[in-house]
Chain A
């Protein structure tokens, strides 16, 4: 019966090595006794010894499953108690971090003077890497929580109906629209008046615009204003017309283009007029801070546009 006993040994060994050390001796003794009892039962019924052992072990099933039962270990990566928290966190991370990383990498590579294809490749690659990392580490952390937290936990914070996502009320959205319009008028007025109205004047008494003359020489300022107008126009369309995918996508593209353009202008220091900075006697750090502030603001806008677009689309 050498081979048959080897089979039991192998089975017991396979089950035990998945268990904590201190539980092993006791479980081994009991498991061996149970298997022996079951085999004896079959032998009494006239079964062949090898066959009996094979049948008993087959009935006991996968030793890994048996060991999980003994150790009271979950047979799932993330259980129902944690699953919703897990998906919510992962969705939030993916929807915010991935676009931010993509925008940052795309911007830096563009500023470094990359050509279109490699820039797109790097951006997509960085976004993909970020997504894989987020998914892996979040999953790992939750799998660890699943295996370490106190047995049979209750949800950390009980769900209440107050947690239901609120559809933006028409009134609130109208407030947004008004704010946007006012801001648009202020910004456009400021941009268009800046070459002729200024606190500083040159030797001939001509005003020194606060914004870089380069913007007018190249016509970039009109392109930027056109994008801002388009953005505002789409806000009105979104408010007064029914939500539809083409409107949402086109509107988002206009938003994105305006934000990206501002990032580009600020990052390449093409917003402020150096002559104005000099005339006003600002320290050199001020334009730096203004440019950085504009970039941060625009990146924030980018993230907001993307996450809002995703959440709207998900809610449909």
Chain B
């Protein structure tokens, strides 16, 4: 039997990086931190808040996201949006993901 600890380590390893792709895809529609956290969770990408918030900043610094403060509502929120570079990266990563998916199917003999 696999121990829970071992299982979670390997799941974490496998999922590392998928959050970036998910963010880049979702943020083609501008959104803010907490709403994005919620959205990711609903779409099956479980991520911790303390991972996501710094990640958004990092992607912004890398020029993959742009941000704007929305001060129209009572609570000012920082809205992130995928930049052109981000869209290009998302395309490349998606293609890679598809190739991996195909490769796995072949490995498992499904062709």
- A residues near B, CB below 8 A? 26-27, 29-31, 33-34, 36-38, 41, 59-61, 65-66, 69-70, 72
Jot down 5 A-B pairs with beta carbons below 8 A, ordered by A. Answer: A38-B49, A41-B38, A69-B50, A69-B54, A70-B53
CB closest chain-A residue, reference B75: A33
- B residues near A, CB below 8 A? 32-35, 38, 48-51, 53-55, 57-58, 69, 75-78
CB closest chain-B residue, reference A27: B57
In the complex, what distance in Å separates the CA atom of A60 from the CA atom of B58?
A: 18
Q: A33-B33, A37-B35 are in contact. List 9 more A-B contacts (CB 8 A).
A: A29-B76, A30-B77, A30-B78, A33-B32, A33-B78, A37-B32, A38-B34, A61-B50, A66-B54
Contact B33 A72 (CB under 8 A): no
CB closest chain-A residue, reference B34: A37
Contact B51 A69 (CB under 8 A): yes
CB closest chain-B residue, reference A38: B34
Question: Which residues from B are CB-within-8-Å of A33?
Answer: 32-34, 75-78
CB closest chain-A residue, reference B55: A69
Contact A36 B75 (CB under 8 A): yes
In the complex, what distance in Å separates the CA atom of A61 from the CA atom of B51?
A: 10
Chain B binding surface SS class: helix
CB closest chain-A residue, reference B57: A70
Question: Which residues from A are CB-within-8-Å of B78?
Answer: 26, 29-30, 33
Chain A binding surface SS class: helix
Contact A66 B53 (CB under 8 A): yes
What's the minimum C-beta distance from A25 to chain B, rounded to whole angstroms? 11
What's the minimum C-beta distance from B46 to chain A, rounded to whole angstroms? 13
What's the minimum C-beta distance from A85 to chain B, rounded to whole angstroms? 26
Question: Which residues from A are CB-within-8-Å of B69?
Answer: 29
Question: Which residues from A are CB-within-8-Å of B58?
Answer: 72
Question: Which residues from A are CB-within-8-Å of B54?
Answer: 66, 69-70, 72
In the complex, what distance in Å separates the CA atom of A60 from the CA atom of B69?
A: 22
Question: Given contacts A29-B78, A33-B33, are A61 and B53 in contact (CB under 8 A)?
Answer: no
Question: Which residues from B are CB-within-8-Å of A69?
Answer: 50-51, 53-55
Question: Which residues from B are CB-within-8-Å of A36?
Answer: 75
Question: Which residues from A are CB-within-8-Å of B53?
Answer: 30-31, 34, 66, 69-70
Question: Which residues from B are CB-within-8-Å of A60?
Answer: 49-50
In the complex, what distance in Å separates the CA atom of A30 from the CA atom of B60?
A: 14
CB closest chain-A residue, reference B77: A33
A34 interface neighbour in B34, B48, B55, Cβ under 8 Å: B34
The 9 A-B pairs of least Cβ separation, nearest first, read: A69-B54, A37-B34, A34-B33, A30-B78, A66-B50, A70-B54, A61-B50, A34-B34, A33-B77
Question: Given contacts A37-B75, A70-B57, are A30 and B33 in contact (CB under 8 A)?
Answer: yes
CB closest chain-A residue, reference B61: A72
What's the minimum C-beta distance from B60 to chain A, rounded to whole angstroms? 10
Question: Which residues from A are CB-within-8-Å of B38?
Answer: 41
What's the minimum C-beta distance from A42 to chain B, rounded to whole angstroms? 12
Question: Which residues from B are CB-within-8-Å of A34?
Answer: 33-34, 49, 53
CB closest chain-B residue, reference A29: B76
In the complex, what distance in Å separates the CA atom of A60 from the CA atom of B35?
A: 15
In the complex, what distance in Å separates the CA atom of A66 from the CA atom of B38?
A: 19
What's the minimum C-beta distance from B64 to chain A, rounded to whole angstroms? 14
Question: Which residues from A are CB-within-8-Å of B77?
Answer: 30, 33, 37
Question: Given contacts A33-B75, A34-B33, A38-B34, are A59 and B49 in contact (CB under 8 A)?
Answer: yes
